[in-house]
Amino acid sequence: MKVGIVVPYSWSFWGGVPEHAQHQALALQALGIETRTLIGYDPPGLLTRMLHPRAGRAEPPPRGFISTGRSAIVPANGALPNVVLDPRAFFRVRRALERERFDVVHVHEPLAPVACVAALALARVPLVGTFHASGELGWMKGARPIWGLLAKRLDYRIAVSEAAREAAARYLGGRYELVPNGVLIPPRTDVAARENHVVFIGRHEPRKGLDVLLRAWAAVHTRTGARLRLVGADPAWVRLLLVRRKLPETGIDLLGTIGQSELSTELLRARALAAPSLGGESFGMVLTRAFACGTPVVASDIPGYRDVMAAEAGALVPPGDVAALEQGLVGLLADERERVRLAQNARRIAEERYAWPDIARRLAAIYDLVAGRSAVTRAAA
């Protein structure tokens, strides 16, 4: 079988959906399924630096990568995703579909322009769609009357969480199977031999709650001696926020954008992950990434995170509550025996629920199902 994976965003900048698609391709390839990933690409250079203020990935694109063009920053759902809006993406997708002759096309965020809409309109093979976003999706309100009818071409609909399913059903109706985002699980981890570090993973977007964490951190550092390792947020922006808030940089390490292996190393060394997002999260990918590394979590009690979080793997605190976040982190770091127990549970949960080999087998079964359908029954999914 040959599967085309279509993503509306740019491979050049880390985000939940590009990361999901990359790991999906690798996991499917491990099952013997050939894949190609159609996704945006912003090559290193002056133009990319001018259009995209945050740092991109340093590594080259993977095998099986097909560029749909450059991206632009588009505010959506409280975030700043890098979406390919170039009309030429439509023709790049058409050429790829004609050349690659896929058996199934798997579209992520099906109604997002331009590549995903093109795939829905042009593909003459079974179509699978995965819906990732949650909350009040303003862009879906505009997309539905213009090209929403294309969603009827989907043979199978997947949502990564209950929050994502509710959001998609609100605008499009239909039935959705819950297939969570998978996670890479390091082969070995020592949950006890950890440095006194707390990791935060996220871009410098208000909804990620970094402002809340920074306001809580001075007290956490004073009470525990821990260091805060910030991954993904632009260091210059963080320093500006600290100055505006009149907060010290003491006990904070600004790592910026790092590679996936470096991220795993950070989590395997850390005693905890802080995930203080304020909302708009359809799935806690940063939580499952920490779980896989045997790292317990203190996270905001919000939809998306709540679906992933388990009491035996960490603690939930009210979103935006500086004092509660401080107490949650201090409590976790102060009781090493309990922290190790939570870490062991987190690793077990990742292995049982979110391992990519299991997710890939579920996807492969879906592909077999839709590929066996007749053209007459396609629109009924």
| One-character DSSP codes across 54-81 | S----SPPPTTEEE----EE--BTTB--
Domains (range + CATH), the chain: 2-182+355-380 (3.40.50.2000), 197-353 (3.40.50.2000)
Q: How confident is the model at residue 378 (pLDDT cuts 50, 70, 90)?
A: very low
* pLDDT digits 0-9 by tens, 103-156: 999 999 999 999 999 999 999 999 999 999 887 776 676 777 777 789 999 999
Cα–Cα dist 42/11, whole Å: 8
Cα–Cα dist 23/347, whole Å: 19
Provide the pLDDT for residue 55: 65
Percentage of the chain with pLDDT > 70? 95
* pLDDT digits 0-9 by tens, 263-319: 999 999 999 999 999 988 888 999 999 999 999 999 999 988 998 998 899 999 999
Cα–Cα dist 162/159, whole Å: 7
Provide the pLDDT for residue 105: 98
Q: What separation in angstroms does the CA of 53 have from each of 58, 117, 203?
A: 15, 27, 12
Cα–Cα dist 135/204, whole Å: 20
* pLDDT digits 0-9 by tens, 59-89: 778 889 999 999 988 776 667 788 999 999 9
This prediction has a pTM of: 0.87
Residue with token string 């359908």: 373
* pLDDT digits 0-9 by tens, 150-189: 999 999 999 999 989 998 999 899 999 999 999 999 999 9
Question: In 3D, which of 290, 346, 363 has the Cα closest to residue 26?
Answer: 363
| One-character DSSP codes across 282-319 | SS-HHHHHHHHTT--EEEE--TTHHHH--GGGEEEE-T
